[in-house]
Every structure is written in C-alpha cells, then in structure tokens.
Amino acid sequence: MARQFFVGGNFKMNGSLKTTKEIIENLNKAQLDSSVEVVVAPPSIYLTAARETLRKGIEVAAQNVFDKPNGAYTGEISVDQLKDAGITWTLTGHSERRVILQEDDAFIAGKTKAAIDGGVSVILCIGESLDQREAGTTIEVVTKQLQAVAEKVQDWSKIVIAYEPVWAIGTGKVATTEQAQEVHAAIRKWLASTVSKDAAEKTRIIYGGSVSEKNSKELAKQADIDGFLVGGASLKPAFVDIINSNQ
C-alpha cells in the first residue's frame, strides 16, 4: 500500500512574526508536489498567524501540547485550545524536550493519547543518543519509547512516527541512508508485531536529523522512509526542495 509522503517543518524557537510570515509567503507561492502532506510547526505565539495566512492544503502543528484539558498549568496549551485555533497537529516527544525538559516516555505517551483522543494528529518523535547508538541499543531505545505509547493508544491512524537520532539533530551529521532505513524497517516490524499488521502498513515513519535538500532525495528513495521532519532547513527557501524530493 502506498503511504502518502509527509514533510513537517519544525521552526523550533526561531524567528519573528515577520520572518514566519516570509516563510509562509514563500510556501504559498511555491510549486509544491500535490501528493505530499505538508505541516509546519512555528513557535506557539505565531500559530494563529500561520494558520490564518497559510494556503489551503498546508496544515499547522503545535510544537507541544499538555495532557490535561484545562486548569492551573501555567504556560501550557490544551488540545481543545489548539482545535479552537484551527491547529490540527502537534509534535510530542521531541528529543529537545526529552533531554532539556526531562519529559519521560510515560508523560509523552499521555500527551500523545490526549491529542489523539481530542482529535489532533500527532508527529511522535523518537530517537537514540550517540552513546546508545555506539552501545548498539538503538532499536531497544526507540521501541521502548514506542511501547509507552502503545500502552495508552490503540488507534495509530492519526500518528506519524518521526525517527530522529539525537546525535544528528542540529549537528550537521546525518545518519547514512542505510542506517536510517535499517531503523525505519525495525520500527515497522515492531508495529506489525506489537500494534497490528495494518498499522505497520499504513503508519508513516519519517526521518529527522539534519535533513537538507542535499540528502533528502536519496533518503526518500528508501522503502520505509515516508518523509521528513525538518528542523533548521525548514526556515530556508530550500524547504521547498525537500518537500519536492519524492518526485
């Protein structure tokens, strides 16, 4: 079964209202592959501006969401608030939140469940550190992160899995095509044995970690790589080339 190619742009804590609108204007004018699903994740303060100005067919994601519906949770954003603002996606589990803010697997799984249950789709980020890669525990680490979600979520149809080796995020390093494909294939095998064969066939597994227009075409050719979660390059005009790399 052909899975729709997916490209997400994670702006992280970068830019201003002016630069965010410039990125959006560039996307609005660009000739994008119509078969690719495109989602951008600007900083939370610019979510509504992005949604109001982006052309139809490109969705907006929050970079984070909370697992409670409302209440005294200063600085957090609920699923219902995202929906009220027209935001249809959120990221969960990004390594920068796992590492810097010490979010554990159970908390990330809870946020993922809250989003799915509330009708917001999720880009679920998983990945291993350099020490874990060198210790040969990559598959064990990423499947443990996935298992926490599987214990709380039955329906994976609204989840896109983003494999992001921590050692390749923002470093300029990138997993080799073979390394990336190997992990993606192992994730799909895990989905088949733990969730269902249907989930394994239909769930999109995308690659993140210093993706650029220089390596995206080769990565896109791999059988189990269904797209990309792009960091720094999503702030540049070359983001369009990455979106179109599956042509």
Q: Exactly one of 37, 164, 184, 213 is catalytic; which is it? A: 164
How far is residue 147's CA from residue 245's CA, in Å, rounded to a whole number? 31
Buried b (16+ CB within 10 A) or exposed e, 115-144: bbeeebbbbbbbbbbeebbeeeebeebbbe
Residue type, 190: W
- Altogether, the residues listed in the chain come to a count of 247
Which strand (E) or helix (H) includes residue 9? strand 6-10
Look-up: residue for tokens 């969401």?
A: 65
184 catalytic residue (yes or no): no
Residue 94 annotated to the active site: yes
> Using an 8 Å Cβ cutoff, are 38 and 32 in contact?
yes
Both tokens assigned to 19: 């630069």
Q: Cα(28)–Cα(22) distance, rounded to whole angstroms?
A: 10
- Compute the distance between CA of residue 66 and CA of residue 45 in angstroms, rounded to an integer: 16
Rounded CA separation 112/69 (Å): 13
Which candidate, 60, 152, 74, 172, places its Cα nearest to that of 107?
Answer: 152
> Given 94, 103, 128, 184, which residue is catalytic?
94
Rounded Cα–Cα distance for residues 153 and 176 (Å): 31
What is the Cα–Cα distance from 24 to 39, expressed in whole angstroms? 11
Active site residues: 94, 164
